[in-house]
Amino acid sequence: DTGVSQNPRHKITKRGQNVTFRCDPISEHNRLYWYRQTLGQGPEFLTYFQNEAQLEKSRLLSDRFSAERPKGSFSTLEIQRTEQGDSAMYLCASSNWRTGGVGELFFGEGSRLTVL
């Protein structure tokens, strides 16, 4: 169990550029979640996958955001045409819904995005 890994840890970009974040979950976990966290707020749900299927996407999520989880392993979160309001910490978490530990999330350390 090497934990949830996120890359890059920090990203500074100019407004209008595209950025991509990668998340490698705990290997046996079938669910993978993306959250966004801004200063002074709790994690805000963005989307989640069960295996390779994207089961839900937040209605608050702009069409500029897209996530994939090919083959049910790692996941990527892409933000197109970034805006300053996208500046936040992007958190990835995984869980094993099959075998107890109901709903417990294991988080990575996050990817901090700064849009200039």
Partner 1 sequence: AQSVTQLGSHVSVSEGALVLLRCNYSSSVPPYLFWYVQYPNQGLQLLLKYTTGATLVKGINGFEAEFKKSETSFHLTKPSAHMSDAAEYFCAVITDTGGFKTIFGAGTRLFVKA
Question: Residue 95 Cβ, how far from partner 1 at the closest point, in Å?
Answer: 9
Segment 103-106 long-range contacts (CB within 8 Å, at least 24 positions apart): 105/33, 106/3, 106/4, 106/25, 106/26, 106/29
The answer to whether 83 and 62 have CB atoms below 8 angstroms apart is no
Using DSSP bridges, classify how beta strands 10-13 and 111-115 pair: parallel, antiparallel or unpaired. parallel
Residues 33-52 that bind partner 1 (CB under 8 A): 33, 35, 40-45, 48
Site string for partner 1, 54-93 (x = CB under 8 A): -xx----------------------------------x-x
Question: Residue 107 Cβ, how far from partner 1 at the closest point, in Å?
Answer: 4
Question: Residue 4 Cβ, how far from partner 1 at the closest point, in Å?
Answer: 7
